[in-house]
Structure 1
């Protein structure tokens, strides 16, 4: 890797203070392009667990500055993501873009967004809200609603639980469906707990339910029926979408149909091209079986596309 400046940074979005890390390749005074990395669901930090560090290294090797940050209420950031909406998280991403564009060593017109998983919904919303985004990249971003995506992930998880019968799977998914309906009726957390208790906490539900408290229940209610179609149709910039063919968390085939249909929407601007890359045998983090980092062709494809755009 060429010489790199790495430093902790802070920027604000209204009353929220966001902390992150900025890494900029030293290029002898020549300004470089930049990317803001937005993590996935839950309390994702500036490294998005272990996913962002190898991605950051590759982008820096390609001469691209990288900014990533702790989600609201995580690490050094103030606020609480569980009391936010996806639109709130999108304005955080927009603030990150503005901060990166303000750096003298970065070409302001060449700063785009990269979002992983839930972060894909976030960056699509952020990109659609402004007309100066040069490009956006989504990584394992569902084309379906969170409610549909979580049900798909839960069903796959249940099939992996030892000794789970079809009856057990059916009971757990039925309870999940009732919880989703309760959320649509704005049921409080106590009502949701009663539903779970009355069902006897069926096998495998912990995958979905174990960490849910009152604040998280509120966040899930607000998010569960988010439809990314409007943001996909409203994009005004090129879009690169990555998927892994063996993703057990996201229904890839259904997502591809939604992404493809959005390109054909008559109101979608001509500049909003879509490039889809599905990596064979790769999982939600674009990793091949037994690997701890995405496949090399993933990084190469990303860099080639960014250079074109």
Structure 2
């Protein structure tokens, strides 16, 4: 589940004054405040700098796992500040004060903070929340990732490229790791989750596919991981692709590996995380050459049901009322139905706009409405929300391992594992294992709550239990 905060390119407002004048503003610097959202308090840090075009700002929301977000527009006039970003639907409007306002202040290093402040309003999605910023000595957040692989490596790494002929011959770039002293090893192709991911599936300063490929290759299993199309070194257009299109990319990786002489081409399998765990069965169901599938938090229930469960879990984590949650679920169900029932784009947009009008969504905020409509009408989402994994899972006959974390708030473990059990039972798959891993979140970290806001703050990238479970299962069969 993606948070509402996403990194975007910086667009700066130009002023007809010199850089020297910009540099004199008292509003330049690092600021910190607490945002009261119901019973929760969220730290917000804003970093304001001058440049040749005016000013630029970045924001951190560490409690939500969002760090170094570039905000599009920053305007300073005398003691007045206005920061906004249409895509994030964020606006901060405030006034500089030479005195420290105590309300909504964070306790972090408060004794070291200077005595001036910004008294502001934080606006998002129709909400207007007072927030007072004081000076902060936190300029950036450092991260510790103890599992990052370090040499010497008992395997060799080869940079590779392969073409997807079903997508106009686009070339996908990746890394193949081959264990030392293992002739013709089995090999796993890693398939990332939703969103544009590089070959290491980097997110929240974690690189889970780097950790997984290192662990597997140290244990005699070759691994091919690659950049999603249109990402990093891979060609193609990510924004115009669906989950099915991504499945042809992974299938192209399979065809490429089948051409090599240094692996066992009869033992090529797929490991997919999240959406990748939905994509892997697509390939296995239509291609008998797939030797095995490992689904890491892959969905099995209809995707609209999955999304509603995600939304409910997020709302519960925000301590929203039962009435609010019910309204939120009804709103999203209505939007999902509008997308599913209207093949014609214009009719779907009209239906979504009517729903938003009826609910007075975000108090009629045009940016919020536009954002919802655009996301709902993306090519990827229109395919995704209609997809039902069960018939595909039913057709998979190769060995299949599904692991899901107890604290996964994005792909509920129990409901999806039980649906997989039904599909494999109906399809008479002779070799499937469904494993419920206590204490692990969607990223397979050992977590307290499982909320997305924890991901970045947890030093562990992937639990050794998850790594050992996958490796042992593959080695027992190959």
Fold equivalence (TM over 0.5): yes
Q: In the alignment, which residue of structure 2 is the partner of 1:9?
A: 161
CA contact (8 A) 2:406 2:441 kept: yes
Kindly indicate whether structure 1 or structure 2 has the higher relative contact order, using CA contacts under 8 Å at least 6 residues apart: 1
CA contact (8 A) 2:353 2:373 kept: no
Q: How far apart, in 2, do the equivalents of 1:216 and 1:19 lie?
A: 27
CA contact (8 A) 1:13 1:92 kept: no
- Bigger Cα Rg: 2
Given candidates 232, 244, 247, the residue that maps to 1:90 is 247
Q: How has the CA–CA distance of structure 1 residues 193 and 238 changed in structure 2, closer, same or farther, with 3 Å as cutoff?
A: same
Given candidates 398, 401, 421, the residue that maps to 1:237 is 398
> CA offset at residue 22 of structure 1?
2.1
Q: In the alignment, which residue of structure 2 is the partner of 1:62?
A: 219
* Runs of at least 5 residues in structure 2 that lack an aligned partner in the other structure: 1-152, 448-457
* Runs of at least 5 residues in structure 1 that lack an aligned partner in the other structure: none
Q: How has the CA–CA distance of structure 1 residues 13 and 174 changed in structure 2, closer, same or farther, with 3 Å as cutoff?
A: same
Which one is further off, 234-243 or 97-106? 97-106
Instruction: Describe the SS at the equivalent of 2:330.
Output: helix
| RMSD over equivalenced CA pairs, Å | 2.5
Q: How far apart, in 2, do the equivalents of 1:212 and 1:57 lie?
A: 41
Instruction: Describe the SS at the equivalent of 1:231.
Output: helix
Q: How has the CA–CA distance of structure 1 residues 6 and 193 changed in structure 2, closer, same or farther, with 3 Å as cutoff?
A: farther
> CA offset at residue 176 of structure 1?
0.3
TM-score when normalising by structure 2? 0.59
1:281 and 2:439 correspond: yes
> CA offset at residue 214 of structure 1?
6.1
**Greater than 4 Å deviation, 4+ residue runs:** 209-212
Report Cα offsets for 1:47-86 as digits up to 9, x if no partner.
2122211111101111222112222332233333443333
> CA offset at residue 16 of structure 1?
4.5
Per residue, is there more strand in 1 or in 2?
2
TM-score when normalising by structure 1? 0.88
Which one is further off, 173-182 or 186-195? 186-195
CA contact (8 A) 1:235 1:268 kept: no
1:47 and 2:195 correspond: no
Q: In the alignment, which residue of structure 2 is the partner of 1:304?
A: 472
Question: For 1:1-309, what aligned pairs fall within 5 Å after superposition?
Answer: 1-14=153-166, 15-28=168-181, 30-49=183-202, 50-161=207-318, 164-186=320-342, 187-189=347-349, 191-193=351-353, 195-196=355-356, 198-201=358-361, 213=374, 217-265=378-426, 267-270=427-430, 273-289=431-447, 290-309=458-477
Q: How far apart, in 2, do the equivalents of 1:176 and 1:287 lie?
A: 29
Q: How far apart, in 2, do the equivalents of 1:178 and 1:16 lie?
A: 39
Per residue, is there more helix in 1 or in 2?
1
